[in-house]
Amino acid sequence: MKIIDLLREDRLSLSFEVFPPKTDTAFESVKSATEEIAKLKPAFMSVTYGAGGGTSKYTLDIAKNIKDTYGVSTLAHLTCVSSTKETVRKKIEEIRAAGICNVMALRGDLTPEMENSDRSGWSYRHAVDLVRELRESGADFCIGGACYPEIHPESVNQKDDILRLKEKVDAGCDFLTTQMFFDNNLLYNFMYKIREAGITVPIVAGIMPITNANQVERAIKLSGSHMPQRFKSLVDKFGTSPAAMKQAGIAYATDQIIDLYANNITNVHVYSMNKPDVAEKIQANLSHIIGL
Ligand code: FAD
């Protein structure tokens, strides 16, 4: 099923993100974790592509298994930075052949070597180039793109970032998923600005449940997200007790989701990081709300 059709509903749509194994030996345990999450029957599941230094070898295997075995719609991530046309076209054909109709079109992060290299000869310099390639492939894909309520770290300012985002949507994105954020007001402000800029596609709010203190630093480094004082206090108080921190992190994420839905943001994607217990607790906390 195309994800865009799920996002147009008025009810809260809760989806989960998983990532493929970083090594061959981890395949079975990752597969089993993603299956536990699929059993929760979320609106859809996304499978990342080599994010955080991982391999991209198993993205399609995991996505296909979730779809075929559990009937959950899947969104396969794909990045294009520094790839050749041949590689990207082959990947697109593999996605289509696997029967996956939802693709998250991403540029991918630049390594320090890439940042210092001559990028003029690259076939794909931005995600918009991949969106165009996917549209030109002729396959009937539902395409998602990334967006950044706190602006992308490489952007000169938010106005320019939103202009680029509009170009990406106009090239063929059906919906956008946000980078994680911990202060909902940042999203409300961003929504106002993008709607004013003429971006009308559905926005999926990305929520990361922070369940251990070590994750905080990594999350900030990856996303550049602002940590509100309310969240910092929680880490200060519970950070040294793993069980308490997990409970508090899940409660914080749940609270964010309830506030989003109360403000008519109906699509929420949880960065569940291959943790079925976290996904399950968040879903259970929202059981009556999801039914509304
Ligand atoms: P782009 O849309 O290309 O934007 C990147 C920067 O370039 C922005 O500053 C933008 O304003 C600017 N820009 C865009 N177009 C132009 C243009 N034409 N000219 C000049 N400047 C332009 N990474 C992975 O490796 N694997 C994943 O699976 C993955 N999943 C993600 C999922 C989500 C929801 C998000 C938010 C991020 C994900 N990432 C993933 C990280 C992502 O690859 C990085 O954030 C990357 O730095 C930017 O990707 P993008 O697709 O947003 O790029």
Taking the alpha carbons at both ends of the chain, their separation in whole angstroms is: 22
pLDDT at 74 over 80: yes
Q: How far apart are CA 135 and CA 137, in angstroms?
A: 5
User: What is the mean pLDDT of the segment spanning 158-177?
Assistant: 98
Output the six-digit token pair for 180.
């994680």
Q: What is the pTM of this model?
A: 0.97
pLDDT at 234 over 80: yes
- For the stretch 15-72, pLDDT in tens is 999 999 989 999 999 999 999 999 999 999 999 998 665 678 899 999 999 999 999 9
Q: Which of 149-158, 164-173, 222-231 has the lowest mean pLDDT?
A: 222-231
pLDDT at 73 over 90: yes
Residues paired with 270 in a beta bridge: 16, 207
Alpha carbon of 284 to ligand 1 centroid (Å): 32
User: What is the mean pLDDT of the segment spanning 69-76?
Assistant: 98
Alpha carbon of 48 to ligand 1 centroid (Å): 13
pLDDT at 261 over 90: yes
Which residue puts its alpha carbon closest to atom 32 of ligand 1? 146
Answer whether CATH 3.20.20.220 is correct for domain 3-290: yes
Amino acid at 177: T
Sequence spans of domains, the chain: 3-290
pLDDT at 102 over 70: yes
Buried b / exposed e over 172-187, threshold 16 CB at 10 Å, is: bbbbbbbbbbbbbebb
179 and 150 in contact (C-beta within 8 Å)?
yes
Which residue puts its alpha carbon closest to atom 24 of ligand 1? 51
* Residues noted as catalytic: 17
In the DSSP assignment, the letter for residue 35 is H
Q: Which residues line ligand 1 (CB under 6 A)?
A: 48-51, 77, 79, 106-109, 126-128, 146, 152, 154-155, 161, 164, 168, 177, 179, 206
223 band by pLDDT with thresholds 50, 70 and 90:
confident
Residues 53, 124, 195: CA angle, nearest 5 degrees = 90
Task: Determine the angle formed by the axes of helices 276-285 and 242-262, rounding to 10 degrees.
Answer: 50
Most confident listed range (25-39, 105-119, 216-230): 25-39
Q: Which of 2-6, 215-219, 228-232 has the lowest mean pLDDT?
A: 215-219
- For the stretch 205-218, pLDDT in tens is 999 999 998 888 88
Alpha carbon of 81 to ligand 1 centroid (Å): 9
156 band by pLDDT with thresholds 50, 70 and 90:
very high
Alpha carbon of 291 to ligand 1 centroid (Å): 33
Q: Residue 173: which of 201, 193, 197, 198 has the closest Cα? A: 201
Q: For residue 283, give the H/E element and its range.
A: helix 276-285
283 and 9 in contact (C-beta within 8 Å)?
no
The minimum-distance atom of ligand 1 relative to the CA of 49 is 28
Which residue puts its alpha carbon closest to atom 5 of ligand 1? 126
User: What pLDDT sits at residue 52?
Assistant: 60
